[in-house]
Amino acid sequence: MSGSLPELLALAVKVSYLVAATLFLLGLQRMASPLTARSGILWAGWGMVIATTATFFLPGLENIALILLAILIGAGLAWYSGKKVAITDMPQMVALYNGLGGGSAAAIGAVELLRWSDAGVAPGMVVLVLAVLGALIGAVALSGSIIAWAKLDGRMDKRYTFPGQQLFNAAVFLAALALGGMVIHSLGVPLVIAFFLAALALGVLMTLPIGGADMPVVISLYNALTGLAVAFEGYVLGNEALIIAGTMVGAAGMLLTRLMAKAMNRSIKSVLFSNFGGGGQAQEISGAQKPIEAGDVAAMMAFADRVVIVPGYGMAVAQAQHKIWELTQKLVERGVKVKFAIHPVAGRMPGHMNVLLAEAGVPYDLIADMDDINPEFANTDVALVIGANDVVNPVAKTDPASPIYGMPILDVVNAKNVVVIKRGKGTGFAGIENALFYADNTRMLYGDGAEMASALVSELKALDGGH
């Protein structure tokens, strides 16, 4: 019976992994709805706690002290950064954390490849191939996500291009594949190092030319790659929890990437290899931007039947979501029908606006997606745009020369009256001029989003006799 305890422990670990996988699946399913997303995150989090704890009971596990130290350091840094990060910086944090996941998978591949190289003993071909593929994909996700983080955080220009860039990138990709093949054929430390350098360089080069408007799709794509890398390395380690978690993350990330690309009328290939959203030249637009005062906007909205509010990244920067919800409540009290229109790629990451509105307490039944709300703009008395730019720009439908031509947009221009809250006359994240701001039915309310929303609330209260 000497072997019974290790066998029982191994069985208990596998059962724990099954429980964790079930919680992952249930959590992911609950994340599909804003109403249950918070509990879904908690369920998946408990699944990860169970899987991590169970791993410590694997027979033959070594370096437990180092593992505990790494967990404490990682958890401490994550707790601190999670508490300190501003909601406007959430896309950067998501990109960075996603990259670290890919880096972890790449590190597993590196350790295993170097260990096999030192021992002079190669595992089975399938395991070796998956180790190399996981390392390649994880390294690309790591370096690419770091570049995405730097762009989103304003530490790097939105695009870097040079002549022959696509050919050069293709050459680096082929070199990474060739080096990976050489590692599979003949394990060696110099080959492994060269392979990882090529893979990291590929992630950087892939992300440098991608413009700001495509960044939500890029984040989703790297999320999918991270999941795939984790699943491959889970197979290498024989760890069921990693295989299941990685597969789910990869599948969810790829599905989200496809949905985001479809919402922009783009293919994944065009996101990676074209210049969309890369700061095109300003378009020649006739007319002038026409300013308006907060009191006039409040009166216009107070006596409207239908109002649609279109939030964008500017609302996140101004932290105006709470005041906008207060404004909505005042309008609803007057009998105005109010909805929020959300573009799939509004903000800097998938679901960015939904997170902000949920934080402010906006009921989900007031939030409409692009396909549902677009037919209603023609019957909308006032469309209030706060911080959105490229996702409401009519040139996406009217100007074939525009870098965003072909991207589906919110048809705000069809509303009877459009009011845009904006700090100044600058362009959006894609770097092009917005024809909506010059339309005959558009008025510009210049100022900070939160301050202007507060002014609108005050003006509405004045109309109601101060109540």
123 in a structural domain: yes
pTM: 0.77
Nearest residue to 367 via CA among 385, 386, 341, 395: 341
69 in a structural domain: yes
User: How far is Cα 387 from Cα 114, in angstroms, rounded to an integer?
Assistant: 50
Do 108 and 227 fall within a single domain?
yes
Is 392 buried (19+), middle (13-18) or exposed (0-12) by CB count in 10 A?
buried
281 in a structural domain: no
Do 218 and 362 fall within a single domain?
no
Interacting residues of 132 by C-beta distance below 8 A, sequence separation 6+: 109, 113, 180, 183, 184, 195
Do 36 and 112 fall within a single domain?
yes
283 in a structural domain: no
Do 327 and 378 fall within a single domain?
yes
CA count, 13 A, side-chain hemisphere, 186: 5
Do 77 and 212 fall within a single domain?
yes
Do 301 and 229 fall within a single domain?
no
- The CA-atom distances, in angstroms, between 1 and each of 5, 11, 163 are 8, 15, 70
Task: Report the Cα 349 to chain-centroid distance in Å.
Answer: 3
User: How far is Cα 388 from Cα 457, in angstroms, rounded to an integer?
Assistant: 20
Q: Quick check: helix, strand or coil at residue 292? A: coil
The residue out of 241, 273, 305 marking a domain boundary is 273
Cα torsion through 37, 38, 41, 47, rounded to 10? -110
288 in a structural domain: no
278 in a structural domain: no
Per-residue pLDDT of the chain (467 residues; tens, 9 = 90+): 445 777 788 888 889 999 998 999 899 888 877 778 889 999 999 999 999 999 898 877 888 999 999 999 999 998 998 888 876 777 888 888 989 999 999 999 999 998 888 777 778 889 999 999 999 999 999 999 999 888 887 787 666 777 888 889 889 999 999 999 999 888 888 899 999 999 999 999 988 887 766 777 888 889 999 999 999 999 998 888 889 889 988 988 888 888 777 777 777 776 666 554 444 454 566 667 899 999 999 999 999 999 999 998 888 888 889 999 999 999 999 999 999 999 887 877 777 888 888 888 888 889 998 889 999 999 999 999 998 888 898 988 888 877 777 888 899 999 999 999 987 665 555 557 788 999 999 999 998 888 999 999 999 988 876 55
Do 431 and 394 fall within a single domain?
yes
Do 267 and 312 fall within a single domain?
no
Q: How many domains does the chain have?
A: 2
Do 347 and 440 fall within a single domain?
yes
73 in a structural domain: yes
Nearest residue to 234 via CA among 382, 342, 127: 127
Q: Range of 457's domain?
A: 294-463
DSSP classification of residue 447: S
The residue out of 238, 273, 308 marking a domain boundary is 273
Do 422 and 361 fall within a single domain?
yes
Do 367 and 417 fall within a single domain?
yes
Element counts in the chain: helices (H) and strands (E): 17, 6
User: How far is Cα 180 from Cα 167, in angstroms, rounded to an integer?
Assistant: 20
User: How far is Cα 67 from Cα 237, in angstroms, rounded to an integer?
Assistant: 16
Q: Which residues are catalytic?
A: 390
Beta-strand (E) ranges in 82-152?
Answer: none
User: How far is Cα 273 from Cα 267, in angstroms, rounded to an integer?
Assistant: 10
27 in a structural domain: yes
CATH code of 321's domain: 3.40.50.1220
Do 233 and 336 fall within a single domain?
no
